[in-house]
Structure 1
Amino acid sequence: MRGGYREGSGRKKGSSHKVSLSTIQEIMQKEDFQSPLEIILNIMNQAYKSEDYKLALEAAKGAAPYLHARLNEVNANIHQMKKIQEMSDDELHYIVSGN
């Protein structure tokens, strides 16, 4: 039979299950702590200074999503208007009728 209570299953009482906010803050307060973004940017800058442009480019590609939002596609409806003298009778009627 599947599901339901089974003897000895599940997390044991008193076991830690989450990293507390205070633990995360302690880690971030350490002098040598670097975020993943800082590490990538350091690699990029060092590679660029040593003229290893291929590595610098790869590191820049890795850092870009953290620094720049991805642009969304924009649909633009552009209607080019003709001069009244160039419009047909049907086009003029359409404009006047408001349809």
Structure 2
Amino acid sequence: MRGGYRDGSGRKKGSTHKISLSTVQAIMDKEDFQSPLEIILKIMNQAYESEDYKLALEAAKGAAPYLHARLNEVNANIHQMKKIQEMSDEELHYLVNKN
């Protein structure tokens, strides 16, 4: 039998497995703390300055998701209307009887 309540399952009360928000904040407030983005950008800049362009490009690819949102495809339906004088009788009839 799967799912549902089972004796002894789940996280025990008072367990220390979770990292509290205060612990994470304390780590981030340290003077020498560097975010993953800061590390990637440092590697990218050092590689670029030493003309290791392949490494600089790989680091830039790693940093890109942190800095730039991925663009989604947009479907735009654009209907260009002709002037009434340029429309055929069939087109005018369609527009009049559309509703």
TM over 0.5: yes
What is the number of equivalent residue pairs in this alignment? Answer: 97
**Is the deviation greater in 81-90 or in 52-61?**
81-90
Structure 1 residues 14 and 89, CA gap change in structure 2 (3 angstroms): closer
Structure 1 residues 5 and 74, CA gap change in structure 2 (3 angstroms): same
Which of 5, 8, 12 is 2:7 aligned to?
5
Gaps of 5+ in 1: none
Q: Give per-residue Cα distances to partners, 1:8-36, cap 9 Å, x unaligned.
A: x6555643021111211211122211010
Q: Answer yes or no: is 1:91 the counterpart of 2:91.
A: yes
Shift of 1:83: 3.4
Structure 1 residues 12 and 59, CA gap change in structure 2 (3 angstroms): same
Aligned counterparts, 1:2-41, within 5 A? 4-5=6-7, 11=11, 14-41=14-41
In 1, Cα distance between equivalents of 2:12 and 2:80: 71
In 2, Cα distance between equivalents of 1:51 and 1:90: 66
Gaps of 5+ in 2: none
Structure 1 residues 82 and 15, CA gap change in structure 2 (3 angstroms): closer
Q: TM-score, normalised by structure 1?
A: 0.80
In 2, Cα distance between equivalents of 1:87 and 1:74: 30
Identity of aligned residues (%): 85
